[in-house]
Structure 1
Amino acid sequence: MISSIFKNGVLTVAALAAFASVAQAGGFARGEADTDILFDADDYAFRAGATYVSPRREFETTGGVANNDGVYTEGYWIPSIAAKIGVSENFACALTYTQPFGAQANYGMDARMAAIANGNNPYGEKGFKTNEYGATCDVKFDAGKGKLHLLGGIFMQDFSYTAVNELDTILPGSTRHGTLRLEDDSAIGYRLGAAYEITEYALRVSLMYRSKIKHEADEGSYDVMDLGSIFLPATGYGTLPQSLKLSAQTGVAEGWLVYGSVKWTDWSVLDALNYNIGGTDFRDAYNWKDGWTVQAGVAHVFTEKLTGTVNLTWDSGVGTGADINTDTWTLGAGIQAKLGPGDLRFGGGVSYLTSGSQSASKGASYDATAGGDWSYAVSGSYKISF
């Protein structure tokens, strides 16, 4: 039987490689909540891990001239924690934590001068991050040869944003730096899904929807450095997108499994981050279009204690000219080894970011181009179940 070869091993290795490569997804996407732990065969399971991503994007030109700033995108960690609690034979819940969205950039002097030449604030650093704390439950029923799963839950997501203005033009005549800080402690969203699986064939098809989240920061501040106690009040708002993901996997021969997924993300909902400082309105324009992420892979059982997988992921660029957010191709791989009382997973991905451009006429702070760049990701986790 195929099920005697796969059990949970290959399924979790497939999820590992997907995690490592989706970390390179378009827009501001980072981690996904580990709701796959609900399909663990045991009643209780705990998995914790992290992914490190090193995006290596740099400008070729800014303002029509060569740019010598080097890489402006910052590396980042994506934590993931999940715990399954089996309440009964057909009902279980999972508690999850991850950072679903985020970005961090550090712009050099050439990029700042291009912003000044175009009449815009020369931000040296910009970044934000989110934390998601979720609870998702699974009710399953007998359906033919397999099981039908109905999934649903809620999550709380926070948001924090920081931008450092290297030459303050908000206060007329000032040459000092200013730091904008916006924060939303909590916003509530939900996820709904369904899945069908036949364990005998290691077959599973699932569809998961995650709602959009609107963040409103009502008590932010703009701190003018070197001017003592000058803090201007600041507020901001923006919407992070909804998504829908279809995943499928099946055993095709003894020791072999193929899998794939298609994910749509509503990035067009984020046209800009809108904020107000001291009564004056500003906006960071994105003007993105919706994004698609498509993945296909294969997994293989080498021994009773070692399985492996490799996959290829294409993520459509969501940029329309207000920034450089282009197509990404990722080759990912992962292994799972039974070690001690649990399972150790390790994987990685190499991504190619295609070339692109941005222009002031389409909402950018300055004209710029970027060539093809490479990014890298590594991921590891450990799971104990009983």
Structure 2
Amino acid sequence: MKRGTLNSVMVAMAATVTLASAAHAGGLERGGHNIDQLFDTSRFTTDATAAYVSPQRKLKNAVDTNATNGLGSNGIGGGTTTANDTEAYWVPRIGFKAAVGNAIDCLGDYSQPYGAHSAPGANWVGANSNIETKITSDSFAATCSYKVDAGKGQFRVIGGVSHLEVSGFKTRLVAPIPGAGVGRLDLSGSGIGWRAGVAYEVPDIALRASLMYYSEVQLDNITGTLDLTQLTAGLGGNPLAGRATPVFGATAMPDSLELKLQSGVAPGWLVFGSVKWVDWSQLQTIAFCPTSTRALGCRFGAANQATSLDLLYRDGWTVTGGVAHKFNDMLSGSAAITWDRGTSTGIGTQTDTWTFGAGAAYTPNENVQIRFGGALGVLTSGSSGTVTNSQGTFGNEVSYSFGNDLVAAISLGAKIKF
């Protein structure tokens, strides 16, 4: 096997196990951003990876702290004080890389960088806070680099653009007794982002250092519907009760900065690591207002606000370190540990996560590579309840706690080079 092929196998192996380890990161992050395929030494490559993630967050000791906006301790037909909060999900990614001459490489890829799915159901005492919330995303990106010789290696300048589409919904119990019903908020929006960075490589020793910045993506025209048709029309003086109302709003998906390092340390051995910061703290409260009041704008606390999504996130940090090893010409393996700082600030379940991942790569020839990976992690314990800040009081519908829960992930990937 060629030395360059060995390097690419071990680098790809490191990327696969990192995906499995970090797929359940804080905020709304799932697959995040990844341009590792851009560095492949082959002229053309097609790469596809999918990770299946199963978080097991369980809520307990729930108390309905605001019985006036729901059914009190009765929930909807149950009123349990426990609930299974999280749902399993897939994280896909597919990319095509092409070299243009000896200096330019370009990568086009599809991924789902953001998402969330919380579904405690309608029968717990926190139904007036959340029955089900789901967010999905689709990202289409193009990234190119220009490289020049520098010392023993090569220096790259990297840049690109992306188109992001985000959609989702939330259902919860709304309105005071009598006349309570389930309300649903459906939303979608899109925006354009950019990325830029630099990298330095010494292929002979599989050394690479890269620093990438991914811009925020402005979602300036989020549109959707607030469906309150289950409520009695005009209930409690609410003009939106009893009908479905088109709504609008705006926010931005956060910018991020990521440093990645890797190097061969002995024949057949590679160490790697990364540090990533994500500006999740810009997602605090997102207001939505009736489309008929668009001329007034829409901001949190305004008189025309119909509803809001209250996240109250803080910045996210993710740190990963690991090692990869070539066992023979066809089989390589890697292992990694990842720490992700939780983004919750008193409401929600986004606490620190520790994950341990391992994987293997099977390379029957220089043109085909198949990768397997898995991870097992701990979602650390915490609690959620009332939080008061400069914008107001949040999380006063329900309080609950949660213990140390498990998250498991598996991943499968394949690459074809030609």
Fold match, TM over 0.5?
Answer: yes
Pair 312,218 (structure 1): closer, same or farther in 2 beyond 3 Å = closer
Aligned to 1:337, which of 362, 377, 391?
362
> How far apart are residue 176 of structure 1 and its match?
3.5
Matched, 1:76 2:89: yes
Specify the SS of the correspondent of 1:108: coil
**Aligned partners of 2:229 and 2:244 also within 8 Å:** no
**Aligned partners of 1:34 and 1:96 also within 8 Å:** no
Cα deviation, 1:176-208, whole Å, max 9, x if unaligned, reads 433211111x20000111110001111000011
> How far apart are residue 232 of structure 1 and its match?
1.1
Pair 277,53 (structure 1): closer, same or farther in 2 beyond 3 Å = farther
**Aligned partners of 1:24 and 1:330 also within 8 Å:** no
> How far apart are residue 238 of structure 1 and its match?
2.3
2:379 corresponding residue in structure 1: 353
Pair 110,63 (structure 1): closer, same or farther in 2 beyond 3 Å = farther
Pair 27,219 (structure 1): closer, same or farther in 2 beyond 3 Å = closer
**Aligned partners of 1:23 and 1:53 also within 8 Å:** yes
Cα deviation, 1:283-337, whole Å, max 9, x if unaligned, reads 2222221111111101000010110000000111111102221110000111110
Specify the SS of the correspondent of 1:177: strand
1:9 corresponding residue in structure 2: 9
**Aligned partners of 1:34 and 1:82 also within 8 Å:** no
2:149 corresponding residue in structure 1: 142
2:54 corresponding residue in structure 1: 54
Which has the larger displacement, 59-68 or 353-362?
A: 59-68
2:99 corresponding residue in structure 1: 86
How far apart in 1 are the matches of 2:47 and 2:305?
46
Cα deviation, 1:254-310, whole Å, max 9, x if unaligned, reads 111111111111111111232225844322222221111111101000010110000
Which structure 1 segments of 5+ residues have no match?
116-120
Pair 59,67 (structure 1): closer, same or farther in 2 beyond 3 Å = farther
1:369 corresponding residue in structure 2: 401
Aligned to 1:97, which of 94, 105, 110?
110
> How far apart are residue 374 of structure 1 and its match?
0.2
Note the 1:237-386 alignment, pairs <5 A: 237-277=250-290, 279-339=304-364, 341-362=367-388, 363-364=394-395, 365-386=397-418
Pair 100,218 (structure 1): closer, same or farther in 2 beyond 3 Å = closer
2:175 corresponding residue in structure 1: 169
Cα deviation, 1:85-134, whole Å, max 9, x if unaligned, reads 111111011001101111011123464x245xxxxx44311111111100
Aligned to 2:187, which of 182, 186, 191?
182
Cα deviation, 1:314-373, whole Å, max 9, x if unaligned, reads 111111102221110000111110147510011011110110111123422321111100
Which has the larger displacement, 81-90 or 208-217?
A: 208-217
TM-score computed with the length of structure 2 as normaliser: 0.84
How far apart in 2 are the matches of 1:4 and 1:78?
29
Bigger Cα Rg: 2
How far apart in 2 are the matches of 1:161 and 1:109?
18
How far apart in 2 are the matches of 1:225 and 1:308?
55
Give the share of equivalent positions with the same residue, in percent: 37
Matched, 1:234 2:247: yes
How far apart in 2 are the matches of 1:145 and 1:379?
35
How far apart in 2 are the matches of 1:94 and 1:338?
22
How far apart in 2 are the matches of 1:254 and 1:361?
54
Which structure 2 segments of 5+ residues have no match?
65-72, 74-78, 234-241, 292-303, 389-393
Letter in 2 for 1:180: L
Letter in 2 for 1:194: V
**Aligned partners of 1:129 and 1:159 also within 8 Å:** yes
Cα deviation, 1:5-27, whole Å, max 9, x if unaligned, reads 83311011011111111102111
Specify the SS of the correspondent of 1:288: coil
TM-score computed with the length of structure 1 as normaliser: 0.91
